[in-house]
A and B are shown apart, each in its own frame.
Chain A
Amino acid sequence: MMNTISRFDGFGLGLRRTHYADFLDGDVPVDFVEVISENFMVDGGNPLRVLTQVREKLPVILHGVSMSIGSAHGLDCEYLRRLRALAERIEPLWVSDHLCWTRTSAHNSHDLLPMPYTEEALRLVCDNIDHAQEALGRAMLFENPSSYLTFPEDEMREWEFVAEMAKRSGCYLLLDVNNIYVSAHNHGFDASECLRALPHDRVRQIHLAGHTDGEIKIDTHDQPVCGGVWDLYREAVALAGPVATMIERDDGIPPLPELLDELDVARSIAAGTRSKVAA
């Protein structure tokens, strides 16, 4: 049985290159930082030095984009070996990746490609999660992705798939509220219904981000969190209880104070929701 992951109640940001100096030189008022694992799965040099120094100040979450947990071609053992080495060095709060696939045996798209929600896919994902958790020696979190199409062969809804995945594999969930918002729009389902149907006791982290509007909304992480996503966050916090919340901004990255202001919005929503739940 994989080890359990305790709840961590806090608010954090992604550690991005433009803000390295802020984090190294000062005390940034966050409870943790999240990094893209692959950027630090290197042999040496400055990126690892920066991360090691930031880790001395703050808890770190390793968030990956290339595990390809939904890959029908299995997992890349060299990738898992490097990720384990990084995790042993950094001792993160946890290691996460996305419910998606990125590679075949021949090619890598470096994009989070969508899964069909079928029993065949569910079995495969659970086998791959077993393999990954075994190889890393720890339980992981998996994130619901934004998607731009659904498959004609789908046999269940996304939330049914995710719930069953967590139940069978023992993995935890990274709830990306923006991704629910984007996918709900793109596929015409009800975001709140999706939120309510997920297994809240498995959620350990919430992602907030901005997206690009259009007939099909796109998960671009290049603008502030929108009103509809804040509303959904309020519901998510009420359901999931105290978990780590973080804002993802990967493009058009503003000065740190702007992101800290946005994080304060999350703090006050969470505080308001919890006092209401308590009352």
Chain B
Amino acid sequence: MTLAASQKDFMAQVLDEDHALPDGWSARHAAGLAIYRNNYRTSLVEALRSTYERTASYVCEEAFRQAAVHHLITHPPKSWTLDRAGDGFPDTLRELFKSDPEVAELGWLEAAMQRAFVAADAAPLDAAGFAGATALFTEDDWSAMQLAFLPGTALAPVEHDIPALWRAVDPDGESPSQADRLDAPMHLLVWREGLKPVFRLIDRSEGEAMAALLGGTSYGDACAMLVDRLGEEAAIAQAGAMLGRWLHDGLIESVSSPAARG
């Protein structure tokens, strides 16, 4: 067997305890292999637990361990960085905790906070900076304007009061047994203030507009979405208020307009 083939086989042994031992391997080999397999599993479950510490506390230790092991079997890690071993884990939680959808929402928040924590450093645009950047904008420029949000900014729809759940869960101790449902679906927004990841709930129209802008939609098209949802007058007020909040919170890194000249 070539080294490439034997490493592939060894990896299969590490990932799956039912994989047959190579020819000529003894019980001593099997005992050694069991240590590697256990190291792999323990360190990855630990890595997930450290990113998803509140989720682990909320669903209880054993249920979390089972979910983590399930995730490792269905999504064996591919990247060199342990930070990415939890990629897709909120989806696994959604699937495993079908009748408790707040679990996946809490998991999403923890993952987004972790990503924001190590996102690239960038200085946010303040109101004066924004005014300067858009001073020469024509009507067309405004409508074609693209907003670049600070690295690490992330957003997801939620149906539960996840900020309250986050505060109520003690990663090392007691946790509430359920989460409050929101009166209406909202979006949960995560970004970084200086070195510190933070979050807040935003209403659905703001969330949808921001999701579109994060996906590269122009400001004009995002405003058109608002008009469809809120009507013209309310949309104009909402668009102005949103932009003001985002600048105030330091969410916007830069603005540009493909229509702008010179």
Could you tell me if B80 and A111 are in contact, using CB atoms closer than 8 angstroms? no
Interface segment, one of A40-48, A159-167, A264-272: A40-48
- Give a binary string over B174-194; 1 marks a CB under 8 Å from any A CB, 0 the rest: 000000000000000000100
Q: How far is the CA of A218 from the CA of B36 in the complex (A)?
A: 10
Instruction: Tell me, yes or no, whether A8 is within 8 Å of chain B by CB.
Output: no
Could you tell me if B14 and A43 are in contact, using CB atoms closer than 8 angstroms? no
Question: Taking A46-B195, A152-B25 as contacts, is the C-beta distance between A113 and B10 under 8 angstroms?
Answer: yes
Could you tell me if A149 and B32 are in contact, using CB atoms closer than 8 angstroms? yes
Instruction: Tell me, yes or no, whether B6 is within 8 Å of chain A by CB.
Output: yes
Question: Taking A73-B7, A111-B14 as contacts, is the C-beta distance between A218 and B35 under 8 angstroms?
Answer: yes
Cβ of B35: which chain A residues have Cβ within 8 Å of it? 148, 216, 218
Instruction: Tell me, yes or no, whether B144 is within 8 Å of chain A by CB.
Output: no
Interface segment, one of A101-109, A129-137, A202-210: A101-109
- Give a binary string over B1-16; 1 marks a CB under 8 Å from any A CB, 0 the rest: 0111011101100110
Could you tell me if B81 and A149 are in contact, using CB atoms closer than 8 angstroms? no
Could you tell me if B33 and A45 are in contact, using CB atoms closer than 8 angstroms? no
Could you tell me if B78 and A109 are in contact, using CB atoms closer than 8 angstroms? no
- Give a binary string over B245-259; 1 marks a CB under 8 Å from any A CB, 0 the rest: 000000000000000
Cβ of A66: which chain B residues have Cβ within 8 Å of it? 80-81
Could you tell me if A104 and B7 are in contact, using CB atoms closer than 8 angstroms? yes
Instruction: Tell me, yes or no, whether A235 is within 8 Å of chain B by CB.
Output: no
Could you tell me if B121 and A103 are in contact, using CB atoms closer than 8 angstroms? no
Question: Taking A46-B195, A116-B6, A218-B35 as contacts, is the C-beta distance between A110 and B11 under 8 angstroms?
Answer: no
Q: How far is the CA of A121 from the CA of B25 in the complex (A)?
A: 19
Instruction: Tell me, yes or no, whether B28 is within 8 Å of chain A by CB.
Output: yes
Cβ of A42: which chain B residues have Cβ within 8 Å of it? 83, 118
Kindly report which residue of chain B lies nearest to residue A121, judged by CB atoms: B3
Kindly report which residue of chain A lies nearest to residue B25, judged by CB atoms: A152
Cβ of A76: which chain B residues have Cβ within 8 Å of it? 80
Among candidates B43, B77, B119, residue contacting A44 with C-beta atoms closer than 8 Å: B119
Instruction: Tell me, yes or no, whether A91 is within 8 Å of chain B by CB.
Output: no
Could you tell me if A152 and B78 are in contact, using CB atoms closer than 8 angstroms? no
Among candidates A38, A72, A107, A216, residue contacting B31 with C-beta atoms closer than 8 Å: A216
Instruction: Tell me, yes or no, whether A79 is within 8 Å of chain B by CB.
Output: yes
Question: Taking A113-B36, A216-B35 as contacts, is the C-beta distance between A108 and B119 under 8 angstroms?
Answer: no
Could you tell me if B15 and A47 are in contact, using CB atoms closer than 8 angstroms? no
B interface secondary structure, majority? helix
Instruction: Tell me, yes or no, whether B145 is within 8 Å of chain A by CB.
Output: no
Among candidates A49, A72, A104, A113, residue contacting B2 with C-beta atoms closer than 8 Å: A72
Kindly report which residue of chain B lies nearest to residue A49, judged by CB atoms: B195
Q: Which of A76, A79, A106, A108 has the most CB of B within 10 A?
A: A108
Instruction: Tell me, yes or no, whether B163 is within 8 Å of chain A by CB.
Output: no
Q: How far is the CA of A44 from the CA of B24 in the complex (A)?
A: 48
Cβ of B15: which chain A residues have Cβ within 8 Å of it? 107, 109
Q: How far is the CA of A186 from the CA of B24 in the complex (A)?
A: 19
A213 to chain B: closest CB distance in Å? 13
Instruction: Tell me, yes or no, whether B74 is within 8 Å of chain A by CB.
Output: no
Instruction: Tell me, yes or no, whether A71 is within 8 Å of chain B by CB.
Output: yes
Instruction: Tell me, yes or no, whether A27 is within 8 Å of chain B by CB.
Output: no
Could you tell me if A111 and B39 are in contact, using CB atoms closer than 8 angstroms? yes
Q: How far is the CA of A113 from the CA of B37 in the complex (A)?
A: 10
Chain A residues engaging chain B, CB cutoff 8 angstroms: 38, 41-47, 49, 66, 68, 71-73, 76, 79, 101-104, 106-111, 113-114, 116, 118, 120-121, 124, 147-149, 152, 186, 215-216, 218
Of all A-B residue pairs in the complex, the 9 with the closest CB atoms, nearest first, are A149-B32, A44-B121, A42-B118, A72-B4, A148-B32, A43-B120, A66-B80, A72-B3, A148-B35
Chain B residues engaging chain A, CB cutoff 8 angstroms: 2-4, 6-8, 10-11, 14-15, 24-25, 28-29, 31-33, 35-36, 39-40, 43-44, 47, 76-83, 85, 116-122, 151, 192, 195
Please, could you name 22 A-B residue pairs with CB atoms under 8 Å apart, sorted by A? Answer: A38-B80, A42-B83, A43-B121, A45-B117, A45-B195, A46-B195, A47-B118, A66-B81, A73-B7, A76-B80, A104-B8, A107-B11, A107-B76, A110-B43, A110-B77, A113-B11, A148-B32, A152-B24, A152-B25, A186-B32, A215-B31, A218-B35
- 14 further A-B pairs in the complex, CB-CB below 8 A; given A106-B76, A113-B36: A49-B195, A72-B3, A72-B4, A102-B80, A106-B78, A107-B77, A107-B78, A108-B80, A109-B40, A110-B44, A111-B14, A121-B3, A152-B25, A218-B39
